[in-house]
Amino acid sequence: MDWKDIESYPNDFLWGASTSSFQIEGAATTDGKGLSVIDVMEKQPDITDFSIAADHYHHLEEDVALMADMGLKVYRFSISWTRIFPQGNGEVNQAGVDFYNRLIDALKKYQIEPLVTIYHFDYPQALVDQYGGWLSRQSITDYHRYATFLLKTFGDRVKYWLTINEQDHVIRFPSRLGIKECTYAEQLRLGYQANHHMCLATARVIQTFHELGMTGKIGPAVSYSWIHPYSANPMDVLASKDATIIKNNYLLDLHCKGKYNKVFWRYLEERHYLPKIEAGDMELLRENPPTMIGVNYYYSETVKAFPTSSEYPIGYHKETPLPTAEAGIFEVVNNEQLSATDWGWEIDPIGLRLTLRELYDRYELPLIITENGIGAYDKLEADDKIQDDYRIDYLQKHLQQLQLAITEGVDILGYCAWSFMDLVSGRNGMEKRYGFVYINRDDFDLKDLRRVKKQSFYWYQKVIRSNGKYIWRD
């Protein structure tokens, strides 16, 4: 396709960036905030915890002013459940409400649309202690109460809502569910029950969103990695199809179609992972689909067939947090056609375009990119400059493919890069940096927490001012 035939980004395209509460706010026990599962999980000795992070809690006005300087049209952030309800249910913490009112009002002052994630990994530890958290149906009621409070409190200024971030990642990380001391297979069985409850909780909130007469958009934010077959061998092609259902599409089939994919249901049945479903559950899901889908895309994967054997019987997984091999279905392998990040994530801009086309064809809902970016070892030079050309190159190529997807007819509301500022990576601490804004600290030395604009900050500023035209400059 000649670049002259490419449609421009829409005039109302939402250029933005993302963060999450526990990764930037700090102030983990300040002003009445309760403990989340993130706060109590076992500390990794070689990286920092989340107690201070980027200290956004005390730098709110400065950080929003930087967003305005960059020209953001939308800012995606999450609200800390335990800053609003310290025990997950019970009494409201007014200091937490005040903090998010200040944040939203500051954004609106600069005409930046808030895109609110209701729940992003930091589940209240008190609810795990009370009844097991997402493993219990009581979690549906408490999530609904919390989310309804947010809709009523902030809905006069917030149009765009994300219900749950990367639900599939929640169920596969025991610490995020509060699960301890069980086998990998039992963890997965419990995880799929929790997944069912999260889908029901989302449907109830979407139902309430409409009952309240809210006119914006609401939906989940899902992690999606395009999955290539390793070869033209039909068994590898089948492996890629099955892996796509198991790793990606099963979740959106539940949210958007209100049903369990038949291939996926058989998969659960064979492995004894079937969730308990009560009367009315599937009707609730079918009647309350999302009105948009948030897409978190970083990399693609390539898979080949992985037959069962005496050594690898059905149900065998490589015990990694996110599935990289399962006997009888697939095994993730390196793709020699792609380069990779320092952490081994294969860089595949066309994979983003394929993902967007697949999701729009399958669900016919507007999409918004809620995360896309590259983690790297950024270095602060003596002259306070950070030359992150690799980030510019990554983002530029992905934005070009996104624009091609728009040209091909995909309805895309906006793009939020991950992340606006450096934040504490869930598994790599401050060593792995994603932001447009450098935070002057490392894992164990707070230094001065100074905010420094990277080269990519100025590049993205030009992209926004040109409404995307700048991405086609050499």
C-alpha distance from residue 399 to each of 94, 111, 426, 468 (Å): 40, 23, 25, 8
Q: What is the pTM of this model?
A: 0.96
62 is catalytic: no
371 is catalytic: yes
Per-residue pLDDT tens digits of the chain, which is 474 residues long: 555 568 889 999 999 999 999 999 999 999 999 999 999 988 787 788 899 999 999 999 999 999 999 999 999 999 999 999 999 999 999 999 999 999 999 999 999 999 999 999 999 999 999 999 999 999 999 999 999 999 999 999 999 999 999 999 999 888 899 888 788 889 999 999 999 999 999 999 999 999 999 999 999 999 999 999 999 999 999 999 999 999 999 999 999 999 999 999 999 999 999 999 999 999 999 999 999 999 999 999 999 999 999 899 888 888 777 889 999 999 999 999 999 999 999 999 999 999 999 999 999 999 999 999 999 999 999 889 999 999 999 999 999 999 999 999 999 999 999 999 999 987 789 999 999 999 999 998 999 999 999 999 999 999 999 999 999 986
Give CA–CA dist 201/88, Å, rounded: 14
Could you say which of 3.20.20.80, 1.10.287.3510, 3.40.50.300, 3.80.10.10 is the CATH number of the domain covering 3-226+347-472?
A: 3.20.20.80
Give CA–CA dist 151/114, Å, rounded: 13
Strand partners, 304: 331
E strands in 308-388? 325-326, 330-333, 367-371
Give CA–CA dist 443/378, Å, rounded: 14
Which is the catalytic residue, given 25, 326, 331, 371?
Answer: 371
Q: 86 with 130: CB under 8 angstroms? A: no
pLDDT in the model for residue 43? 78
Which is the catalytic residue, given 25, 113, 166, 301?
Answer: 166
